[in-house]
Amino acid sequence: MFAAIRRIIERETKLAVPAARLTPHANLYDLGLTPFGAVLVLVAIEREFKIEFPRALLTRETAASMASIAHAIDSLQTPSPAAETPRCAA
């Protein structure tokens, strides 16, 4: 997953270091990510992973690092326990 996130960051933003050198917890804002760049990254993440971020995840914290982006993706791709439990016909 981090490889895909790195490619998107490299394509959508201009940071102080190449995306290939980013560590998962590196603060992207400290490296030059702008609010507009964060929007571009999150929209590209939605397309790449076929997800849609709810309004609650459209925050500075979600886009702050590759780890926080990956955590948000995981939270949207993991089915809820109610969705996994088969229902019995009564």
Domain ranges of the chain: 2-84
**Residue 28 to residues 9, 85, 90, Cα–Cα distance (Å):** 9, 38, 52
Report CA dihedral (12, 16, 22, 23) to the nearest 10 degrees. Answer: -130
* Per-state percent for the chain, helix, strand, coil, to nearest 5: 55, 0, 45
State the pLDDT confidence band at 78, using cuts at 50, 70 and 90: confident
Residue with the two structure tokens 């914290």:
61
Question: Domain spanning 2-84: which CATH class is it, in words?
Answer: mainly alpha
Answer whether 62's CB lies under 8 Å from 27's CB.
Answer: no
| 50-71 residue pLDDT tens | 999 999 999 999 999 999 999 9
pLDDT score for 86: 52
Is 90's pLDDT higher than 70? no
* Neighbour tally for 36: CB within 10 Å: 10
